[in-house]
Amino acid sequence: MGSQPHVLVIPFLAQGHVAPLMKLSHQIVGHGIKVTFVSSEFINARLTTTMPMNSPIRLVSLPDGLEPEDDQTDALKQINSFEEVKLDHFKHLIEKINESDDDDRIICVIVDVTVAWAFDVAEKMGIQSATF
């Protein structure tokens, strides 16, 4: 393992879940741990506009499954479409990060308690997980 541990943080797709996990992410970074914050494309776009350019937290998105003509503000539609595409994309994201550099391997996935599917992916990949 590299000199700096690396964790993925994944919230449920609602602002009331994103904000607390982002605060936790900032606390984790303060302890010398690298954080990649995973969200849908829609949430990621909103976070990107509010995060400072020099933020130590890496933002990445998973496809949300919505078409360009879909109502991007329809939270239920976002959640339902994201549910259909998330597993393969999440697994691929972890594989891509872990294959890029031995010093960058994911050691833990911190998951919003309502995002139980992420626990299954982490377990199958031999990665520890924790709930928030």
Domains of the chain, earliest start first: 6-131 (3.40.50.2000)
- The span from the first CA to the last CA of the chain, in angstroms, equals 25
The whole-model pTM stands at: 0.84
What pLDDT, in 10s, does the model give residues 13-36? 777 889 999 999 999 999 999 999
Q: What is the pLDDT of residue 85?
A: 55
What pLDDT, in 10s, does the model give residues 77-126? 666 665 655 677 888 999 999 998 777 899 999 999 888 888 888 999 99
Q: How many CA atoms does the CB half-sphere of 102 hold within 13 Å?
A: 2
Q: What is the pLDDT of residue 75?
A: 64
Q: What is the pLDDT of residue 104?
A: 84
| Torsions phi, psi for 56 (to 5 deg) | -75, -5
